[in-house]
Structure 1
Amino acid sequence: MSTFTINATSRKDTGKGASRRLRREGNIPAIVYGGKAEPVSLTLSEREVNKATLEEAFFSSVVELIIDGEKTQAVVMDVQRHQYKPVITHMDFERVTADTIVDKKVPLHFINEDKSAGVKAGGVISHNITELEIKCPAGKLPEFIEVDMTAVEVGQVVHISDIALPEGAVAVELQHGESHDLPVVSINAPKGAATADEGEEAAE
Structure 2
Amino acid sequence: MKVVAFERSVQGTGASRRLRNSGKTPGIVYGSKDPAAVIELDHNALFHALRKEAFHSSILDLEIGGKTQKVLLRDYQMHPFKPLVLHIDFQRVSATEKVHMRVPLHFTNAETSAAVKLQGAVISHILNDLEISCLPADLPEFIEVDLSKIEVGHSVHAKDLTLPKGVSLVLHVEQENPVLANARIPAVKAVETEEAAPAAAAAPAAAPAADAKDKA
Tell me the TM-score normalized by structure 2: 0.84
Query: Secondary structure of 1:154's partner?
Result: coil
Aligned equivalent of 1:123, options 117, 121, 138:
121
Match of 2:68 in 1: 71
| Cα contact 2:131–2:173 (8 A) shared by 1 | no
The equivalent residue for 2:87 is: 90
The 3 A distance-change label for structure 1 pair 109 and 42 is: same
What is aligned with 1:191? 187
What count of residue pairs does the alignment treat as equivalent? Answer: 197
- Counterpart Cα distance in 1 of 2:52 and 2:97: 24
**Residue 174 of structure 1 pairs with residue 170 of structure 2:** no
Q: Could you list the runs of 5+ residues in structure 2 that have no partner in the other structure? A: 203-216
Shift of 1:199: 7.2
1:168 CA displacement: 2.2
SS in 2 for 1:30: strand
RMSD: 2.0
**What stretches of structure 1 move > 4 A for 4+ residues in a row?**
197-204
Kindly provide the CA deviation profile for residues 25-52 of structure 1, in whole angstroms up to 9, marking residues without a partner as x.
Answer: 1011110011110000001011221222
Q: Which runs of 5+ in 1 are unaligned?
A: none
- 2:139 is aligned to 141
> TM-score if structure 1 supplies the norm length?
0.89
| Residue identity (%) | 41
Q: Identify which range, 50-59 or 37-46, moves more after superposition.
A: 50-59
Of residues 160, 163, 168 in structure 2, which corresponds to 1:162? 160
Quote the offset at 1:21 in angstroms.
1.0
Which residue does 2:213 correspond to in 1?
none
Q: Is the 8 A contact 2:95 2:135 kept in 1?
A: yes
**Corresponding residue number in structure 1 for 2:11:** 14
Aligned-pair CA distance for 1:77: 0.6
* Between structures 1 and 2, the one with greater helix share: 2
